[in-house]
Structure formats: structure tokens, C-alpha cells
Structure 1
Amino acid sequence: MQKLLKVKKWGNSQGIMIPKELLKSVGVNDPIGQELVVSINEKSQIVMQPKKSSSRLMDEFGYLEDQKPAVGLREYDWGNPRGKELI
């Protein structure tokens, strides 16, 4: 897929608006907030790829995997159910 895009002034920077169908063609289906890796190859072409990640959940909370529970942290017994709780 090929599109003609114009560079526009945005504040003190320049930018291009990337159409949604162009983003979908490179695997970016939910573009808001997703990170892209943009590079220039040996032919001086701009290359855009979605950032590799296992999942958005791991992106947000993956750092918790390496943490150990706090000392003395344990499960607390609140007693037998008293109402219509589901167990």
C-alpha cells in the first residue's frame, strides 16, 4: 500500500497524519497510545513497525513478575461466609 502524505507544522515540530488503513496494514489495529519503532534503512527509506511486545497487559504490569511479596504478607482468613457469597 502506498499513500502520498504531506508534512505539516504542529507547534514547534513537523508531523504527518497516518491514515488508519495504512496503520492496519502494518499490524497496528488499535493505534491510540501504541508505540511504533521508526527507522531509516540503508536506502534512506522511513520504516515503521509496531513495537514488539508480548501483550498490553504485560506491557503495563510485567514488571510485577520480578517482585517478591513483602515479608509477612500472607492470606487472611475472614471466617465463614455469612450471606449469599459465591465461593
Structure 2
Amino acid sequence: MLLTKIKNWGNSQGLRIPKSILKQIDVKNIAEDDVMLTVDGEKLIIEKAPKKSKLMQRFSNFDYEKYLKENKSDRVVDKGKPVGRELW
């Protein structure tokens, strides 16, 4: 257990977390490792966030709903004649 103070940091409040504490939750690179904050009653819980795959990182700002609205398509795609036991 570590006793520390919350201090003003611009218009927000900040909390310094020692490296030894971050090491315990496997946060090694503070520039790349994200953390999740959760409130449970009067407890603030800090957990290391799961890593996103490279593909998820590339699409993290992609707005799927906006894309669908902007690219509506009512066209039918012809996939050729049936070749097996298709239902259509």
C-alpha cells in the first residue's frame, strides 16, 4: 500500500504512480501501454488495458455506421448461376 496525494494538473487532477507499482501490473512502456480506470464504491481501480492487434489499431478511429450511411447501395450483386445446393 502506498499513500500519495492528488494534485492539480491544469484543469484536472493528477496522481503520480511510482514505477514499482506500474511494474506490478506489467506496465512497462508508459508511452504505449494503456490503463483502464474503474470505480468500485470508493475504490479507484487501475488495470493494464489489453493490447489491441495491429489491425484493430488501424481501424480504431473508423466509424462503421457513418461509412454505411455515406455508402448506401441498393444494387444487387450477380454471383453467377447456381453450382451446387444453393437455396436461392
Structure 1 length-normalised TM:
0.56
Instruction: Quote the offset at 1:31 in angstroms.
Output: 1.7
Match of 2:51 in 1: 53
Match of 2:10 in 1: 11
- 5+ unaligned residues in a row in structure 2: which ranges? 60-88
CA distance in 1, matches of 2:35, 2:52: 15
Shifted more, 45-54 versus 17-26: the winner is: 45-54
Change (3 A) 1:45 1:30: same
Instruction: Quote the offset at 1:59 in angstroms.
Output: 5.7
Question: Which structure 1 residue ranges, 4+ long, deviate > 6 Å from structure 2?
Answer: none
- 5+ unaligned residues in a row in structure 1: which ranges? 64-87
Change (3 A) 1:59 1:3: farther
CA distance in 1, matches of 2:43, 2:7: 19
Within a 5 Å distance, the mapping from 1:1-87 to structure 2 comes to: 2-42=1-41, 44-53=42-51, 57=54, 60-61=57-58, 63=59
CA deviation string 1:45-85 (max 9, x = no partner): 11111111256x55645x4xxxxxxxxxxxxxxxxxxxxxx
Instruction: Quote the offset at 1:34 in angstroms.
Output: 2.0
Instruction: Quote the offset at 1:14 in angstroms.
Output: 0.7
Q: Secondary structure, in 3 states, of the residue corresponding to 2:45?
A: strand
Instruction: Quote the offset at 1:3 in angstroms.
Output: 0.8
Identity of aligned residues (%): 27
The count of residues paired between Structure 1 and Structure 2 equals 59
Q: CA RMSD in A?
A: 1.9
